[in-house]
Amino acid sequence: AYWATRQNTDPIPERLPPPDEASNLARSEAALHSNGDISSSHYDMNTVYIDALFRHLHWTGDLEFARKMWPVIERHLAWEHRLFRREYGPEKLPLYEAYAVIWASDDLGYNGGGTTHASAYNYYHNTQAAQLAKLLGEDPAPYAKEAGLIARAMREFLWMPDRGMFAEFKDYLGLQRIHPSAALWSFYHTMDADLVSPSEALRMADYVNTYMPHIPVVGKGVPTDDTYHVLSTTDWMPYSWSINNIVMGENIHTALGLWQAGRAGEAFRLTKSALLASMFMGICPGNVGTLNYLDVYRRESQRDFADGGGVTSRAIVEGLFGLRPDALAGELLIAPGFPAAWDHASLRHPDAGIAFHRSGATDTYDIEQRFPKLLPLRLQLPLRGGRPTVTIDGRVVAIRTIPGAEPARFEIQSPAARKYQVRIQWKTLTPPPFRPVPAVPSVAHRQADITRQFDPSGIASPVGLTPYFNDRVTQIFKNEYRSPRSPFVSLATPKQGIGAWAGHVNATAEIDDTGLRAAARAGRGRITLPNGIPLATPGESDGRNAIFVSQWDHYPKEVTLPLYGKARGIVLLMAGSTNHMQSRFENGEVAVTYADGSVERLRLENPTNWWPIEQDYFIDDYQFRRPEPVPIRVDLKTGKIRVLDIATFKGRGGPIPGGAATVLDLGLQPGKELKSLTVRATANEVVIGLMAATLVR
C-alpha cells in the first residue's frame, strides 16, 4: 500500500527523453521516471512489485484491496506498454524489452531487443489483469488480447525447436537475430507465468539440465547419496557482475520452475544443493544469502543481501509442498513435489497445514485450511502404480488423470471444508520412472579449427591489406558509437564501445600496439608465427593497421578485397571487441569466395574463437567452460606471440595491458581459384577487425 502512493502520476510525456549523456548513452533513466514508474531508482522495480501484488491477491482474495490497487495496475501496464513493448514481423507482434527488471540486472542490457523473461512477466500480468478486471467490473478485453499477442510472439520469434527453449532475446536492431543461449531467468520466469504446455515445460527443463553449467557441491559433511550441484546463471563470457554468477536465489527459483514443470526429483536435488552450498558450506551457517563460495569471481560477497529469502519461501511452500491457493478463482490447489523416497512430511503455515504419511501401499494427507473464506480443494498427486482407491474423510471420490503430465499424475476435488483427510490406497505399486542424474554437460558448440598448423614449407603469400585499412587498432575504444541505438527506453553498451550500464559506464581499455609495430619493423613489415608463417602488418608508428567492420555506423558492415590464385588455407590476425551480451553467438565472419561462387566461412563466435581485444577469457571446467583448444594471441604492447596451452591457461584469463590480437585460420580447397576475401560484422555492439592475412599455397 505504501509503494502504491509513490507511483508517478505526472502527465504522460509527449516524447520520451533520449539516452542519458551522463551515462555515455548506456542508460535511459530520465525516460524511465515517467507516468506509471514507482521506485524512482535505476531499476524497473515496478514489474517485481506488480508480480508480488498479483500473487498476494491470489493468496488472499482481497478484492477490496484489489479495487484500491486497480489504478496502480492500470498505470503500470500502460507504462510497460509505452516504454518496453517492441513490435516484430508484419503483424507487429509484441515482445517486451527488459530494463533491469530481475535480480541479475546489473550490466544486463538488450539495446532494444525483445526478451523472454520480460515478455513472460508481461504475459502473466496481462492475464492476471484480465482476470481481475472481470471481478472488479472493469473491461478485461485489452489485457486478454495483449496476453494472447505476447504468447504468439514468443512462440513465433523466440521458441527454438532444436533446443526446446525460448531464446534469451531477439535483436531489434541490425539483423534481428535471436540469441540462443538462454539464461536461468528465461526458464523460471516463463514457468512462473504459466505460459507453456506440459510438454513444452518438460523440454525447457531438459534445456536447463543440458545446456546450463553444473558446478558440483562436494566437501566435508556433504551427503554422498546424490550428485549435488548448483547452476551458474548463464554460460556467457567474459565475466561481468551479475551476468554469470552462482546465486542462491537464482538456483532456488530454477528449482521452483522445475517443480512447476513436474520434475520434482530434479527440483529437490537443486534446492538441497543450493541450501548445502550456502547454509552448510558457507562461512555464515544457516544464511539465506546471495552468492556462495562456489562463485569463481565473487565467492560469498553480498552474503548479507536477503535476495534469496522470498523465492526460497516460495519454492518450499509452492514447490516442495505444492501449496498454491487461488482465492480469486476460488480453489485451494495442492500439488506436492516430494522426493519419491519420502514417507512423511509436514508444513505448518498460518493459512494452511499439510501432513503427509506413507505406510506401505497407503498414503495419507491431512489437510487443514484457515483462509478467511474456505476454498474447494483440488489435490494433484503422482501415480505410484495402477489406478488407486481414494477417500476423503472416508468417502470414495473420483480421480482424474492429468493429460500430458510426466511423470503421470492424477487429481481429486472436494468442496470447501476446514479439514480433510485424504487416503490413497494403491492396489499395485510401481517404482517411479528412472531419470538419470544429469551429468556436468559437455560444451557442444560448433567451432572452427583454430589449431591447424599449416606446413610452412609451401609458399606463404601475405595479402596486401594496406589499401583497405580504415583505422588504427588503437582507436577502437576512442570512438563514439552513437548509432544505431535503440530508439526506445533501453540499456546498452556505452558510447565508447566497452563497458556496461551499471558500474561500468565510463569503462575503457588502453590499446597500445607499439610492440607489434616494433616487431614488424624488425621483420621488415612482417611478424612470424612459431610455425614459420609470416603475417604482414605496418611497422610505422602512426599508420592505419586494421580493417574494422561493425553494425555500428562508425564503420562499414563489411569489407571485400580481391584474392588471386589458389591456396590450401588462409591465416588471419584479427582484433576487435565483444561482450557478454553477444556470447555463445556469432559476432561476425570471414568469408573466402572462389571464382565459381562457392564460399568458405569462418564464423567468429564468442567465446570459441572471437576473443575481446582487451582481455583473455577466464576459463575453467564449470562456470566458465568453452570449447577447447584456445587460439594463439599476439600481445600488441610487447609483440609477444603466446601459444596457449589449455591445461596451464585455465584460471589465468583477465585484462591484457595494451590488448591482444588473435590468430585464426581457415582451410581452403587447394584446387579452386580464389576470388575475394570478406570480413563482416553480424552482431550488434561489436567491432570486428582484420589486421593481417596470409595465404598458404
For the segment 406-418, the average pLDDT, to the nearest whole number, is 93
pLDDT tens, residue by residue, 245-295: 999 999 999 999 999 999 999 999 999 999 999 999 988 888 888 898 898
Q: Residues with Cβ < 8 Å from 517, sequence gap 6 or more?
A: 537, 538, 539, 540, 541, 545
DSSP secondary-structure letter at 431? Answer: P
pLDDT in tens, 655-687: 999 999 999 999 999 999 999 999 999 999 999
Cβ partners under 8 Å of residue 92, min gap 6: none
SS3 521: helix
Residue whose grid cell is 501415480: 383
Helix/strand/coil for 47: helix
Q: To the nearest 10°, report the CA torsion of 483, 486, 492, 493.
A: -10
Residue 345 has pLDDT above 50, yes or no: yes
pLDDT value, residue 434:
54
Instruction: Identify whether the C-beta of residue 633 lies closer than 8 Å to the C-beta of residue 663.
Output: yes
On the CB side of 133, CA atoms within 13 Å amount to 16
HSE of 654, CA atoms in CB hemisphere, 13 A: 7
Question: Beta partners for 332?
Answer: 325, 377
In the chain, what percentage of residues exceed pLDDT 70?
A: 96
User: φ, ψ for residue 169 (rounded to 5)?
Assistant: -165, 165
pLDDT of the residue at 23:
96
Q: Say whether pLDDT at 443 is over 70.
A: no
User: How many DSSP H helices and E strands does the chain contain?
Assistant: 12, 35
Average pLDDT along the chain: 93
Centroid of chain to Cα 167: 8
Question: Nearest-5° angle of CA 107, CA 165, CA 582?
Answer: 30
Instruction: Please provide the DSSP assignment of 245-302 as one string.
Output: --BHHHHHHHHHHHHHTT-HHHHHHHHHHHHIIIIISSSSTT---SB-TT-TTTTTTT
Give tens-digit pLDDT for 449-503: 444 556 666 799 999 999 999 999 999 999 999 999 999 999 999 999 999 999 8
55 Cβ contact list (under 8 Å, min separation 6): none
φ, ψ of residue 278 in degrees (nearest 5): -95, -50
Cα angle 57, 335, 405 (rounded to 5 degrees) comes to 115
Strands 558-562 and 674-681: antiparallel
- How does pLDDT run across 13-51, given as a tens digit for each residue? 999 999 999 999 999 999 999 999 998 888 999 999 999
The cell numbers describing 514, all together, are: 607499439
Peptide bond into 17 cis (omega under 30): no
Write out the DSSP string of 584-621.
SEEEEEEEEEETTS-EEEEEEEETTT---TTEEPP--S
pLDDT at res. 431: 65
CA distance 37 to 458: 67
Q: Grid coordinates in use for 655?
A: 585484462
Q: Which of 352, 419, 340, 431 is nearest to 385 (CA)?
A: 431
User: What is the rounded distance in angstroms from the CA atom of residue 658 to the CA atom of residue 511?
Assistant: 4
Whole-angstrom distance, CA of residue 663 vs CA of residue 633: 6
Q: How far apart are CA 291 and CA 301, in angstroms?
A: 6
CA-CA distances (angstroms) from residue 570 to 69, 538, 545, 642, 673?
65, 19, 18, 19, 14
Q: Which helix (H) or strand (E) holds 353?
A: strand 352-359
Which three-class secondary structure state does DSSP give residue 152? helix
Residue by residue, DSSP assigns 4-29 as GGGS--SPPPSS-----GGGTTS--H
Q: What CA–CA distances, in Å, run from 453 to 5, 110, 504?
A: 67, 39, 39
Do the bridges between strand 377-382 and strand 331-334 make them parallel or antiparallel, or are there none, so unpaired? parallel
* β-bridge partners, 677: 561, 592
Give kind and range of the element (H or E) at residue 460. strand 460-462
* C-alpha to C-alpha distance for 652 and 631, rounded to whole angstroms: 15
CA atoms of 17 and 26, how far apart (whole Å): 13
Q: What is the pLDDT of residues 352-404, one digit of tens each?
A: 999 999 999 999 999 999 998 999 999 999 998 888 999 999 999 999 998 88
Report residue 528 as a C-alpha cell: 612470424
* Closest CA relative to residue 583, chosen from 635, 646, 626, 628: 626
C-alpha cell at 156: 513465433
Q: How many CB atoms lie within 10 A of CB 175?
A: 11
pLDDT in tens, 153-183: 999 999 999 999 999 999 999 999 999 999 9
pLDDT band at 105 (very low <50, low <70, confident <90, very high): very high
Residues in CB range of 187: below 8 A, 6 or more apart: 165, 204, 205, 207, 208, 254, 257
- pLDDT of 582 over the 70 cut: yes
